[in-house]
Amino acid sequence: MLVVVCDHKSGVLTSNSLEALSFGEDLARNGGKDLVALVPGGLQDHSLQSYRLRSVFTFPFSGDHATAEEYLAALLLLAQRSSPECIIFSYNSLGKALGGQLAIRLNAGLISNVCGFEWVDGRALFKKSVFSGKAYAWCAFQSETGLVAILPKAYGINQGQSEQVPEYIDLGPLAPDSRMLVVERTMSSGKTPLTEADVVVSGGRGLKDPANWGMVESLAELLHAGTACSRPVADAGWRPHHEHVGQTGTAIRPKVYIAIGISGAIQHLAGVNNSRTIIVINKDPEAPFFKAADYGVCGDLFEVVPKLIQALQNGQ
């Protein structure tokens, strides 16, 4: 049996959960295994039904969102009851709080940042992204239970076909670790988190001044994109720290990454080079970013970007 750990926001499954479900569905189908899901109570999303799930286990939680401690308690209970072969979850911030703890508590191997799998001689091998995506390690479990922590945005979401209605089973009251108290949650309003954005528009020191960020934001809005920046931009306080992408900031892998006035230093690339398509706007033909790009515009951003915005607006 394989378990997929899911999360939902106001009753709707998160995209990271859909990625994990898709991974689980493919792994279960290839290996001829049963698939079940674990979800905090209150899910209203019917998309769960399209993933060939045998059962859905739910658990109660206090507060407005299940904490990592509540997930942990639910998973330990579920594992005790049904000894799953694999527990599959997104390696987002929730997954990072859970993974290592589960590994010890269940004496299970943990393979993190998984972006694919293959079956070889009846055994699953998992493809782990290492060196910020500059290499992959194919790994195997030597333990009875394996923890598969999926790299966010690396696995495609299945457009489910199945109409199999799973059986819902409530795990009942849990006794989560209560030594740590959540006193406040601040959700960044409205916007999709950077790690979940399909399109990201990012600005570097080439923009010269925080006052020039209007065009980055306009372009982002027209493309329904998130906004990001290089490290010196965040360090100078031009943009908030959570927008800093790169080796020491957030690592992202959107479908499209548009870099404006960013040189493409190796530490920056480490956080963005797994984007499916990279578009670079830079006036320096020698900027290293062009080597990592799919499309490049060599020109002055103060001319190119406003013209681009104009053209997009005209096209609407």
Ligand X SMILES: Cc1cc2nc3c(=O)[nH]c(=O)nc-3n(C[C@H](O)[C@H](O)[C@H](O)COP(=O)(O)OP(=O)(O)OC[C@H]3O[C@@H](n4cnc5c(N)ncnc54)[C@H](O)[C@@H]3O)c2cc1C
Name the site residues for ligand X (rule: CB under 6 A): 204-206, 230-233, 246-249, 261-263, 265, 267-268, 271, 282-284, 287, 300-302
Is 48 or 151 the residue whose CB approaches another protein more closely?
151
Residue 101 or 247 with smaller CB distance to ligand X: 247
Q: What is the DSSP letter of 29?
A: H
Contacts with another protein in 87-116 (CB under 8 A)? Answer: 91-94, 96-105, 107-113
Contact present, 138 and 127 (Cβ < 8 Å): yes
Residues 6+ apart with CB under 8 A from 235: 244
Closer Cβ to another protein, 133 or 206, answer by number: 133
Nearest CB to ligand X, comparing residues 114 and 225? 225
Decide if residue 312 touches another protein (CB under 8 A).
yes
Under the binding rule (CB under 8 A), the answer on residue 22 touching another protein is no
204 binds, among ligand X, another protein, none (CB under 5 to 8 A by kind): ligand X
In the chain, what is the greatest distance between 2 CA atoms, to the nearest angstrom? Answer: 63
CA 281 to chain centre: 26
Site for another protein in 136-175 (CB under 8 A): 136-143
**CA–CA gap between residue 162 and residue 314 (Å, rounded):** 42
Q: Which does 31 bind (CB under 5 to 8 A by kind): another protein, ligand X, none?
A: none
Nearer Cβ to another protein (132/263)? 132
Least distance between another protein and beta carbon 53 (Å): 22
Return the number of the residue (58 or 132) whose C-beta is nearest another protein. 132
Residue nearest to ligand X as judged by C-beta position: 246
Helix (H) or strand (E) holding 215: helix 214-222
277 binds, among another protein, ligand X, none (CB under 5 to 8 A by kind): another protein
CA distance 121 to 123: 5
**What is the β-pairing status of strands 109-120 and 123-130?**
antiparallel
Report how far residue 142's alpha carbon sits from residue 206's, in angstroms, rounded to the nearest whole number. 50
Contacts of 200 (CB under 8 A, 6+ apart): 194, 220, 225, 226, 227, 228, 245, 252, 254, 256, 257, 258, 275
Q: Please give the full DSSP string across 239-304, using - where no structure is assigned.
A: S-GGGBBSTTSB----SEEEEES----HHHHHHHTTSSEEEEEES-TT-THHHH-SEEEES-HHHH
| 81 touches another protein by CB under 8 A | no
Interface with another protein includes 176 (CB under 8 A)? no
Shortest approach of ligand X to residue 281 CB, angstroms?
6
Q: Per CB under 8 A, does 311 bind another protein?
A: yes
Assess contact for 100 and 109: CB atoms under 8 A.
no
197-236 footprint of another protein as x/- string (CB under 8 A): --x----------------------xxx------------
